[in-house]
C-alpha cells in the first residue's frame, strides 16, 4: 500500500515511522535476484523501497591517486559490481507499481537525476558521501521533489549548509542520522544525535539510516523521535554481497515492521489521562473505612478508621484531614466513610 508521503515532509511528531528497504548491491549483479528482492521487501513490511542509480564513472576517478588507503582498482571494481544497471530500472519501477509500493533512488550524477525524472520518481535520496556536492544537490533540489538526506560523517555546519542549499528551492526535507560505518558497532551508533538534530532543525522530521547488523538501533530510534528508518535489505545472508554484513533478511524486516508499529503505539501521546484499560482498575484505589462500630457524635481517630480497597467513599488521601471530626450517625464496622457523615 502506498504511503501519503507528503505529510512526512511537514514536521509532525505523531507520525508512525516509515521503513525503507535499501537494496543497494544486494542484487549481486543478477536482475532476477534484484526483482525478487523488491517483491520480498514489499511482502515483508517495507513502506518504501530504495535503489541506487549510477555508473562507476559517475562516482570514482579511474586512475591511480597518491592517497593513503585509496585502492583505485578495488573501489572501481566494487562500484562496477554493485551498480544497478539503468536498463533494470524500467522493470523495477513497473514491478513496484504493480505491487503498489513506492520505489525511489539515490542518484549519483546529474544524468541519473534526469533518468529518474523520466521514471517519474516521487522523491530523491542524497547519500552521506554526497552531502558536500552542491553541484549535484542543486540539480536534485531544482526538481522540487522531496529529499531524504543522510548525514553520516557530517558536522552540524555541513548539514546546515546542505539544508540551506536545498531550501533555496523547497523545504520538503527529511534528515537521517547516519553513521557511515559498515557495519556500525553498537558503541558508535550515537542515537542521541537524533535528539540533537531535532533540536537544531525544529521544522524537519528526523529519521535513521541504520548500518548496524540487526534491528536494535532501528527500534531504539523510535522513542527518540525517528520518523523514517532505512535498512539495507538482502534476501539471504548466504548471498555473496558487499552489503550483507549490515543488511537484514526478510524475517528481520518483517519483525522490524511489526515491532516498529508496536513501539510507536506504546509511546502514546504523553498526556496525563486515564487510559481505557485503566478505568476498571480505579476501584482498586483505597478509601476510608471504619474498623469498628462508631456511635453518633464520636470523633474519628486512628483507632476507629483506616484505609482499604476499594475506593467507595472518601479518598484515602483525606485520612489526616478527617481525624477529629464528629460523626452525625451511627456507623457499623467495615463501612465506607462519606462526606455526608460529618
pLDDT tens by residue, the chain, 342 residues: 678 999 999 999 899 999 999 999 999 999 999 999 999 999 999 999 999 999 988 888 777 777 776 676 677 788 888 999 999 999 999 999 999 999 999 999 999 999 999 999 999 999 999 999 999 999 999 999 999 999 999 999 999 999 999 999 999 999 999 999 999 999 999 999 999 999 999 999 999 999 999 999 999 999 999 999 999 999 999 999 999 999 999 999 999 999 999 999 999 999 999 999 999 999 999 999 999 999 999 999 999 999 999 999 999 999 999 999 999 999 999 999 999 999
Helix pair angle (134-141, 156-167), 10° resolution: 40
**Residue that is written with C-alpha cell 524500467 in the block:** 90
pLDDT at 62: 78
Q: How far apart are CA 211 and CA 247, in angstroms?
A: 7
In DSSP notation, 45-102 reads T-SEEEEEE--HHHH---S----TT--HHHHHHHHHHH---HHHHHHHHHHHHHHT-E
The rounded Cα 71 to chain-centroid distance in angstroms is 35
The class of domain 276-341 in CATH terms is alpha beta
pLDDT at 331: 97
Q: pTM of whole model > 0.75?
A: yes
pLDDT at 238: 94
Q: How far apart are CA 60 and CA 53, in angstroms?
A: 14
Q: Where do the domains of the chain lie? A: 11-267, 276-341
**CA-angle at 177, arms to 175 and 178, nearest 5°:** 125
CATH of 11-267 among 3.40.718.10, 3.30.70.60, 3.20.20.70, 2.60.40.1120: 3.20.20.70
Amino acid at each position: 500500500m502506498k504511503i501519503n508521503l507528503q505529510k512526512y515532509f511537514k514536521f509532525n511528531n505523531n507520525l508512525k515511522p516509515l521503513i525503507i528497504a535499501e537494496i543497494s548491491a544486494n542484487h549481486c549483479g543478477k536482475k532476477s535476484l534484484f526483482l525478487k528482492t523488491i517483491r520480498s521487501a514489499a511482502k515483508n513490511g517495507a513502506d518504501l523501497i530504495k535503489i541506487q542509480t549510477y555508473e562507476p564513472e559517475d562516482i570514482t576517478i579511474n586512475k591511480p591517486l597518491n592517497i593513503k588507503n585509496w585502492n583505485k582498482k578495488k573501489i572501481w571494481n566494487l562500484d562496477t559490481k554493485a551498480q544497478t544497471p539503468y536498463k533494470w530500472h524500467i522493470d523495477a519501477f513497473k514491478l513496484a507499481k504493480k505491487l503498489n509500493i513506492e520505489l525511489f533512488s539515490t542518484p549519483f550524477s546529474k544524468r541519473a537525476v534526469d533518468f529518474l525524472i523520466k521514471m517519474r520518481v516521487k522523491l530523491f535520496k542524497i547519500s552521506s558521501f554526497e552531502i558536500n556536492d552542491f553541484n549535484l544537490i542543486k540539480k536534485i533540489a531544482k526538481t522540487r521533489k522531496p529529499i531524504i538526506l543522510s548525514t553520516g560523517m557530517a558536522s552540524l555546519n555541513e548539514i546546515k549548509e546542505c539544508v540551506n542549499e536545498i531550501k533555496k528551492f523547497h523545504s520538503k526535507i527529511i534528515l537521517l542520522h547516519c553513521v557511515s560505518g559498515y557495519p556500525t558497532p553498537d558503541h558508535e551508533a550515537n542515537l542521541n544525535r537524533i535528539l540533537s538534530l531535532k533540536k537544531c532543525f525544529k521544522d524537519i522530521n528526523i529519521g535513521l539510516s541504520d548500518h548496524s547488523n540487526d534491528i536494535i538501533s532501528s527500534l531504539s530510534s523510535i522513542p527518540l523521535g525517528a520518523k523514517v528508518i532505512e535498512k539495507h535489505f538482502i534476501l539471504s545472508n548466504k548471498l555473496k554481497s558487499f552489503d550483507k554484513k549490515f543488511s537484514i533478511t526478510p524475517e528481520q524486516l518483517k519483525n522490524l515492521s511489526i515491532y516498529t508499529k508496536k513501539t510507536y503505539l506504546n509511546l502514546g501521546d504523553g498526556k496525563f489521562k486515564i487510559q481505557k484499560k485503566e478505568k476498571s482498575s480505579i476501584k482498586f484505589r483505597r478509601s476510608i473505612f471504619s474498623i469498628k462500630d462508631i456511635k453518633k457524635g464520636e470523633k474519628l481517630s486512628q483507632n476507629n478508621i483506616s484505609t482499604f480497597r476499594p475506593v467507595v467513599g472518601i479518598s484515602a488521601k483525606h485520612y489526616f484531614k478527617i481525624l477529629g471530626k464528629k460523626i452525625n450517625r451511627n456507623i457499623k464496622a467495615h463501612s465506607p466513610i462519606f462526606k455526608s457523615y460529618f
